[in-house]
């Protein structure tokens, strides 16, 4: 090809070379530019995270909550000599029965936990946050709320700070402490999913739970539930597993955890410490499980609990409450279920006056009106919470008068004091007349200890309907001799 022809193509070749160079260099330049921009973004983000990091502030808050609460959390181990025996007659090597959590209530050495954590325990040991081990004794238990109080040697204890759980609201952030699956002194977090929950646990009579989504598993039972200030607002107790039996000794977490509110704990624990049993208030009404059709037809809308009947001469009758009234609030707290109302009233002491907002249909006005009624509570006797069939069974046996064993009552009867229930009176000619003397103290139902009369009734109910061969009790005679008998018709 002539030089003239090459010269003619020269500009075209130059353009092609230039285009090829751009095509080759362009992506590289773009990549370099993108890299530079990314690197600059990383540097800027790192600077911001180091200088003004909201997440670090949250992390520090979480660490502060752990530092404040953990010293008050304890790990509880329970032991017994023979894990197979149901009669406590044999002896054997000591084995660990179960474990759970608790928290320091005061500087006197009182530890709060769930009653089911120490179920059937013959020996209880508490581990403090620093690893120190101390033996514990039972001060009192309330099976109907699943609350128990232990006592350890005082000294070097860090009581938890407590808060008023009536201020808890749905959406509040919370923290659960305990030892799930034996991972000791653990912490989880979540929010309050709901309040005033009735989980329909067959073993608990009073249920007014705080529902949370923080992970709660076996071993968390008895541990504190705190707010963002590290104050205890409740106690981890149960998980929803779709079964009616779901305390945290059974099953595993499925997104719904339940805690006893501090209002109930503050009502029960001081009484267990001072006298070993719990006195509860009641208003003297029978309640509808749901709002009746006649009340709905008269225009009632919303949530509440309807009164079915009013006990003559009782607190409600004296306050002017009527059948058909719908209780809307107790001391300003909304009432949605029968179980919630029962728990709110029982958390108050006999003699207290509570304020009830009620909806009432006025015949003359032909409309419903809302009014506030003050009710002074009477004392709910233990036998009022017992199935009538069990009371008839005990009377048939001849056990007509029972009371909580106290040192004072034991001295009056001139019998050795033991924790349990004193047999005050026996009907002559009845089945137990020849085997039990007045002054005998019943200390166990099967191998489960009895600390007061209400606990005796609760344990008897547990086995009376499921043990066709009778209920085995352990007792101490007025002479101090221990014995075991089978209560059966």
The verdict on 407 and 420 lying in the same domain is: yes
**Cβ-proximal residues to 205 (8 Å cutoff; 6+ apart), any chain:** 144, 145, 342, 385, 458
The verdict on 35 and 114 lying in the same domain is: no
Could you tell me if 478 and 415 are in contact, meaning their C-beta atoms sit under 8 angstroms apart? Answer: yes
Alpha helix ranges (H) inside 232-367:
262-275, 293-297, 315-319, 338-346
Closest CA to 257 of 175, 152, 327, 373: 175
pLDDT-derived band at 338 (thresholds 50, 70, 90) equals confident
At 417, list the tokens: 């004091």
Query: What's the chain's average pLDDT?
Result: 87
Average pLDDT estimate for 263-285: 93
Domain final residue pick, 278, 293, 328: 278
Could you tell me if 401 and 456 are in contact, meaning their C-beta atoms sit under 8 angstroms apart? Answer: no
Q: Which residue has the tokens 């279920």?
A: 337
pLDDT-derived band at 245 (thresholds 50, 70, 90) equals very low
3-state secondary structure 160-220: CCECCHHHCCCCCEEEEEECHHHCCCEEEEEEEEEEEECCCCCCCCCCCEEEECCCCCCCC
The verdict on 78 and 211 lying in the same domain is: yes
Task: Specify the CATH number for the domain of residue 264.
Answer: 2.40.10.120
CB neighbour class for 414 (10 Å; exposed up to 12, middle 13-18, buried from 19): exposed
Closest CA to 191 of 218, 237, 163, 225: 225
Task: Specify the CATH number for the domain of residue 365.
Answer: 2.30.42.10
Choose the most confident range, by mean pLDDT, from 32-36, 96-100, 159-163, 243-247. Answer: 159-163
Residues 132-150: tens digit of each pLDDT: 999 999 999 999 899 999 9
Residue 72: per-residue pLDDT: 97
Average pLDDT estimate for 321-332: 94
Domain final residue pick, 380, 399, 418: 380
- Tell whether the model's pLDDT for residue 154 goes beyond 70: yes
The verdict on 304 and 255 lying in the same domain is: no
The verdict on 45 and 67 lying in the same domain is: no
The verdict on 79 and 185 lying in the same domain is: yes
- Tell whether the model's pLDDT for residue 85 goes beyond 60: no
- Tell whether the model's pLDDT for residue 5 goes beyond 60: no
pLDDT-derived band at 86 (thresholds 50, 70, 90) equals very low
At 212, list the tokens: 């949370």
pTM of the model: 0.82
The verdict on 47 and 168 lying in the same domain is: no
Residue 13: per-residue pLDDT: 59
Domain count, the chain: 4
3-state SS, residue 474: strand
- Tell whether the model's pLDDT for residue 83 goes beyond 50: no
Residue 207: per-residue pLDDT: 79
Average pLDDT estimate for 349-376: 93
Q: Which residues are catalytic?
A: 116, 146, 221
Tell how far CA 240 is from the center of its chain.
12
pLDDT-derived band at 122 (thresholds 50, 70, 90) equals confident
The verdict on 214 and 343 lying in the same domain is: no
Q: Which domain holds residue 288?
A: 280-380
The verdict on 349 and 436 lying in the same domain is: no
The verdict on 27 and 95 lying in the same domain is: no
Could you tell me if 462 and 470 are in contact, meaning their C-beta atoms sit under 8 angstroms apart? Answer: no
- Tell whether the model's pLDDT for residue 246 goes beyond 60: no
- Tell whether the model's pLDDT for residue 267 goes beyond 70: yes
Average pLDDT estimate for 255-268: 92
Query: Using DSSP, how many helices (H) and how many strands (E) does the chain show?
Result: 9, 26
DSSP 247: B
Tell how far CA 170 is from the center of its chain.
17
- Tell whether the model's pLDDT for residue 22 goes beyond 80: no
The verdict on 87 and 122 lying in the same domain is: yes
Residue 225: per-residue pLDDT: 97
The verdict on 243 and 312 lying in the same domain is: no
Residues 343-352: tens digit of each pLDDT: 889 888 999 9
């Amino acid at each position: 090809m002539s030089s003239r022809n090459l010269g003619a193509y020269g500009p075209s070749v130059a353009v092609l070379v230039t285009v090829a160079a751009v095509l080759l260099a362009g992506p590289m330049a773009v990549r370099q530019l993108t890299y530079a921009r990314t690197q600059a973004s990383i540097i800027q983000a790192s600077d911001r995270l180091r200088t003004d990091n909201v997440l670090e502030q949250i992390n520090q808050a979480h660490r502060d909550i752990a530092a404040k609460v953990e010293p008050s959390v304890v790990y509880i181990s329970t032991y017994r000599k023979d894990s197979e025996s149901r009669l406590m007659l044999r002896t054997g090597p000591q084995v660990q029965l179960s474990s759970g959590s608790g928290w320091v209530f005061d500087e006197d050495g009182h530890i709060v936990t769930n009653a089911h954590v120490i179920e059937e325990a013959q020996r209880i040991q508490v581990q403090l946050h620093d690893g120190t081990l101390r033996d514990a004794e039972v001060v009192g238990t309330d099976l109907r709320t699943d609350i128990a109080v232990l006592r350890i040697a005082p000294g070097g204890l860090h009581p938890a700070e407590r808060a008023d759980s009536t201020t808890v609201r749905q959406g509040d952030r919370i923290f659960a402490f305990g030892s799930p699956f034996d991972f000791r002194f653990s912490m989880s977090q979540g929010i309050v999913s709901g309040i005033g929950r009735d989980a329909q646990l067959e073993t608990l009579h009073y249920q007014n739970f705080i529902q949370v989504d923080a992970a709660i598993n076996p071993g968390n039972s008895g541990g504190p539930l705190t707010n963002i200030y590290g104050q205890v607002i409740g106690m981890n107790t149960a998980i929803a597993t779709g079964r009616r039996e779901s305390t945290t000794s059974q099953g595993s977490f499925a997104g719904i955890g339940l805690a006893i509110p501090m209002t109930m704990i503050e009502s029960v624990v001081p009484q267990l410490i001072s006298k070993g049993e719990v006195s509860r208030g009641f208003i003297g009404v029978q309640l509808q499980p749901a709002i009746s059709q006649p009340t709905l037809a008269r225009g009632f809308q919303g949530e509440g609990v309807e009164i079915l009947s009013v006990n003559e001469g009782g607190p409600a009758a004296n306050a002017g409450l009527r059948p058909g009234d719908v209780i809307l609030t107790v001391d300003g707290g909304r009432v949605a279920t029968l179980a919630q109302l029962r728990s709110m009233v029982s958390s108050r002491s006999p003699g207290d006056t509570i304020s009830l907002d009620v909806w009432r249909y006025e015949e003359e006005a032909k409309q419903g009106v809302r009014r506030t009624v003050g009710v002074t509570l009477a004392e709910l006797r233990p036998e009022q919470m017992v199935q009538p069939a069990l009371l008839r069974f005990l009377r048939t046996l001849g056990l007509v008068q029972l009371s909580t064993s106290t040192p004072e009552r034991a001295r009056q009867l001139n019998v050795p004091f033991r924790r349990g229930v004193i047999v005050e009176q026996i009907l002559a000619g009845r089945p137990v007349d020849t085997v039990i003397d007045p002054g005998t103290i019943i200390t166990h139902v099967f191998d489960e200890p009895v600390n007061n009369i209400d606990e005796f009734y609760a344990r008897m109910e547990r086995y009376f309907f499921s043990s066709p061969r009778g209920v085995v009790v352990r007792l101490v005679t007025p002479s101090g001799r221990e014995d075991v008998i089978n209560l059966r018709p």
